[in-house]
Amino acid sequence: MSFLLPVVVLTGLFLALAGGLIVAERVLINYGICQIDINAGGRALEVDGGQTLLSALYGEEIFIPSACGGRGACSYCKVTVLSGGGPVLPTETPYLTRKEVRSGARLACQVKVREDIELRIPEELLNVKLFSATVERTISVTHDIKEVRLALLEPEEISHQPGQYAQVRAPSPDGPVFRAYSISSPVYEPRVVELIVRLVPGGIGSTYLHNVQEGDTVTFTGPFGEFRLNEDPQVEIVCVGGGCGMAPMRNIIYSLYERWPERACWLFFGCRTTQDIFYLDEYEQLAREHPNFRVIYALSDPLEPGEQWDGETGFIHLSVDKHLEAGVKRQAFLCGPPPMIEAVTRVLEEKGLRPDDIFYDKF
Ligand SMILES: Cc1cc2nc3c(=O)[nH]c(=O)nc-3n(C[C@H](O)[C@H](O)[C@H](O)COP(=O)(O)OP(=O)(O)OC[C@H]3O[C@@H](n4cnc5c(N)ncnc54)[C@H](O)[C@@H]3O)c2cc1C
Ligand code: FES
């Protein structure tokens, strides 16, 4: 055990030194006011140096996606820094390909503003807004999933694409954090935003949303995300979800049938047990109204004694494989845990879908 002592002492010294440097940077070094130039003169900002690029942009109401709340764990906050961002940090390299590094991609939550910065961000992010809304109702749809319906206060309307998401601000002991939640209400209801939230035990954002009460005010930014529905009505739509991955699918399906009542669309939804099934009755009704809509739920866990289920069983990618014939022009939207996304993507590629036609959010 004696060999452990030097290791513990060295680690302690290293941590103390790193902590000291962080505090010294915060307290002693004043970077003054720095200029941020966005999209070659499109927007010019003056911000206090010393903060992260993500915070500096947030302070100017430019909302970059940050699904992990700035912890350097999601890579959603990628921006292109053309000059002034300093060297790429070890906390960024796992999320950046060599090509991205060469083109200046950086994680905005890891870049510190220490000098003037030239930045490029997608134009649509400049239109992302901060919304306040009141909780209109909450409904438990399963033992761990709640539907939360928000009526917008300011601005009164949101314009989003089916499958996009919002970032909800949740209080935490260390200050507010943001968490991403897909918008489940359809695009033709611009005055509301509905969310479908699975409770993660001990999770900050999901616990907050599971406890909001009717009349509470909720703040969020949005819309974010790259899901874009193909406008060609001949292209079949395939939605595959699991758990709270239902939210974007619901938006896509209802928005789709409002606009193209005849369009072909599949919903494959994976649940573990019958306890996890929700919205199935509603989708079966929708399928009666729109004969080109097919809905398939599958249970992955074996049935418990006394549990009734005459639908499909097994992992959802097996159902996708079983039902979809190859060679049809399709676009697919996938939402759920990473192993599900990977397995379904493989099946869809075997059926002839190109990577560009497969959109996904892993969570
Ligand atoms: C684009 C996008 C869209 C999303 N849409 C939805 C949605 O519609 N509905 C929804 O419910 N969620 C959605 N999520 C996930 C959501 O953003 C949060 O990550 C999730 O609610 C957990 O956040 P939290 O603050 O409750 O937990 P945290 O406080 O972040 O985490 C608490 C602990 O739980 C662990 N943990 C975090 N997430 C999970 C998980 N999924 N399963 C198990 N353990 C976990 C963490 O490692 C940590 O130890 C989406 C995520 C992304 C990136
Ligand atoms: S906000 Fe998640 S990596 Fe930057």
Question: Are 205 and 177 contacting, i.e. CB atoms less than 8 angstroms apart?
Answer: yes
Residue nearest to atom 3 of ligand 2 (CA): 72
Residue-level pLDDT at 2:
59
- Residues in contact with ligand 1 by the CB-under-6-Å rule are 67, 165, 179-182, 196-198, 200, 202-207, 244, 247, 361, 363
67: pLDDT confidence band, cut at 50, 70 and 90?
Answer: confident
pLDDT the model gives residue 27: 58
Instruction: Say whether pLDDT at 101 is over 70.
Output: yes
Neighbours of 213 (CB within 10 A): 7
User: Which residues have C-beta within 8 Å of that of residue 13, sequence separation ≥ 6?
Assistant: none
| Residue 152 pLDDT | 98
Confidence band (pLDDT; 50, 70, 90) for 19?
low
Cβ proximity of 357 and 331 under 8 Å: yes
Q: What are phi and psi of 343, to 5 degrees?
A: -65, -40
Q: Which atom of ligand 1 is nearest to the CA of 201?
A: 34
Is the distance from CB of 219 to CB of 179 less than 8 angstroms?
no
* pLDDT for res 362: 84
CA of 110 relative to ligand 2 center, distance in Å: 8
Structure confidence at residue 244 (pLDDT): 82
pLDDT at 295: 98
Which of the four pLDDT bands, split at 50, 70 and 90, describes residue 7? low
Flag whether pLDDT at 130 surpasses 60: yes
C-alpha of residue 358 to centroid of ligand 1, in Å: 22
Q: Which ligand is nearest to the CA of 193?
A: 1
pLDDT at 5: 67
In percent, the amount of the chain with pLDDT more than 70 equals 92
User: Looking at ligand 2, which atom is closest to the CA of residue 108?
Assistant: 4
> Model confidence at 30, in pLDDT bands (50, 70, 90)?
confident
Atom of ligand 1 nearest to the CA of 363: 51
Domains in the chain and their CATH numbers? 32-125 (3.10.20.30), 128-224 (2.40.30.10), 236-362 (3.40.50.80)
Give the C-alpha separation, 109 to 351, whole Å.
Answer: 38
Quote the ligand 2 centre to 56 CA distance (angstroms): 14
Is residue 285's pLDDT more than 90? yes
Ligand 1 center to residue 124 CA distance, Å? 25
Atom of ligand 2 nearest to the CA of 64: 1
CA of 9 to the centre of ligand 2 (A): 32
Percent of the chain with pLDDT over 90: 83
- Give residue 93 CA to ligand 2 midpoint distance, Å: 13
CA of 196 to the centre of ligand 1 (A): 12
Neighbour count for residue 65 (Cβ, 10 Å): 23
Longest dimension (CA), the chain: 74
Task: Write the pLDDT tens digit of every residue in 72-97.
Answer: 998 999 999 999 999 999 999 999 99
More confident residue, 185 or 7: 185
Ligand number nearest CA of 167 is 1
Closest atom, ligand 2, to C-alpha of 107: 4
pLDDT digits (tens, 9 = 90+) for 137-182: 999 999 999 999 999 999 999 999 999 999 999 999 988 889 999 9
User: Which has the higher per-residue pLDDT, 243 or 166?
Assistant: 166
Across the chain, mean pLDDT equals 92
* 3-class secondary structure per residue, the chain: CCCHHHHHHHHHHHHHHHHHHHHHHHHHCCCCEEEEEECCCCEEEEEECCCEHHHHHHHCCCCCCCCCCCCCCCCCCEEEEEECCCCCCCCCHHHCCHHHHHCCEEECCCCECCCCEEEECCHHHHHCEEEEEEEEEEEECCCCEEEEEEEEEECCCCCCCCCCEEEEEECCCCCCEEEEEECCCCCCCCCEEEEEEECCCCCHHHHHHHHCCCCCEEEEEEEECCCCCCCCCCCEEEEEEEHHHHHHHHHHHHHHHHHCCCCCEEEEEEECCHHHCCCHHHHHHHHHHCCCEEEEEEECCCCCCCCCCCCEECCHHHHHHHHCCCCCCEEEEEEECHHHHHHHHHHHHHCCCCHHHEEEEEC
- What's the pTM value of the predicted model, to 2 decimals? 0.88
Residue closest via CA to ligand 1's atom 5 equals 181
Closest CA to 295 of 241, 347, 231: 241
Of the listed ligands, the closest to the CA of 53 is: 2
Q: Which atom of ligand 2 is least distant from the CA of 66?
A: 1
For ligand 1, what atom is nearest to the CA of residue 65?
1
246-259 and 280-289 are packed helices; what angle lies between their axes, rounded to 10 degrees? 20
> In the predicted model, is pLDDT for residue 302 greater than 70?
yes
Q: Closest residue (by CA) to atom 26 of ligand 1?
A: 203
**Ligand 2 centroid – CA 72 distance (Å):** 4
Higher pLDDT among residues 27 and 140, named by residue? 140
Q: Which of 53, 63, 74, 167 to mutate to test the pocket of ligand 2 (most atoms within 8 A of CB)?
A: 74
Centre of ligand 2 to C-alpha 148, Å, is 25
Q: Does 226 score more than 90 pLDDT?
A: no
